[in-house]
Amino acid sequence: MDTDDARQRAPLGYLVKFWLVNLGLPIAFVGVACWEYLRFARNPWACSGVAPLLSGPAQITLLALIIALAAYLRGVHTSAIGLRNQIRCGDVWAYPIDAEFTTKKLRHLDHIAESIRIASPFFIILSVALALRIMIDSRLRYLRYDPQCNQILLAADVGITLWLLVGIMALMITHFMARRKDSAIAKEARSREIKSLEVWLAKKADGK
């Protein structure tokens, strides 16, 4: 079952976080880019001789990186859901279903799955924004506009790089927090692994 218990318990909280991350933050980044564009428009000499950061191969490389991040998150989400379902079915002997640390593990996996479900659209929308930036760049080149000192591209680069920075920092913080919590649960499970294995083998022998 691919619906998280945490989401079932607090759908309003989930929706608030989802729309805050995937609508509120992108709007904020677009606002930053628009502010930078207005600043460049008022002071065109401020960007004199400055080439857009993401023009050329850099934008294709960044797009590939974002797509790889989205694929990685999808893989982690699938693994978390799969492990959660295996534990609930009693197929993982290290986590007996009636143990307290197993409940913690299941909640932890639910939290991981929910966090990734919230974060994945964030990077998908970012990839769309970058693809739009690539289209604008190619259109300007087709119209024979010099991309050097182009205020639209410079402002877009500010918004996109800030978008990417926030996303990667959020992933880093979430990763280390989840790893720390998972290590604590695994330590508790290892302290009872012999008893857990004996219980699991007994249930298998009884055909339960």
Share of the chain above pLDDT 70, in %: 85
H-helix or E-strand spanning residue 23: none
**Other C-beta atoms lying within 10 Å of the C-beta of residue 16:** 12
- Is 80 exceeded by the pLDDT of residue 6? no
Whether 109 and 80 have beta carbons less than 8 Å apart is answered as yes
What are the φ/ψ torsions at residue 152 (nearest 5 degrees)?
Answer: -65, -45
Task: Specify whether the CB–CB gap between 112 and 80 falls below 8 A.
Answer: yes
Q: Structural domain boundaries of the chain?
A: 53-206
Q: Please report the pLDDT score of residue 4 as a whole number.
A: 46
Kindly report, residue by residue over 113-134, the tens digit of the pLDDT: 999 999 999 999 999 999 999 8
How far apart CA 38 and CA 133 sit, in angstroms, is 18
pLDDT digits (tens, 9 = 90+) for 10-54: 577 788 888 899 999 999 999 999 998 888 777 776 666 677 778
* DSSP SS3 for 143: coil
Does the pLDDT value for residue 147 go beyond 90? no
pLDDT of 78 reads 93
CA 53 to each of CA 130, 178, 188: distance values in angstroms, whole numbers, following the listed order: 13, 34, 49
Give Dmax over CA atoms of the chain in angstroms: 80
Query: CA–CA separation, 153 vs 55, rounded Å?
Result: 8
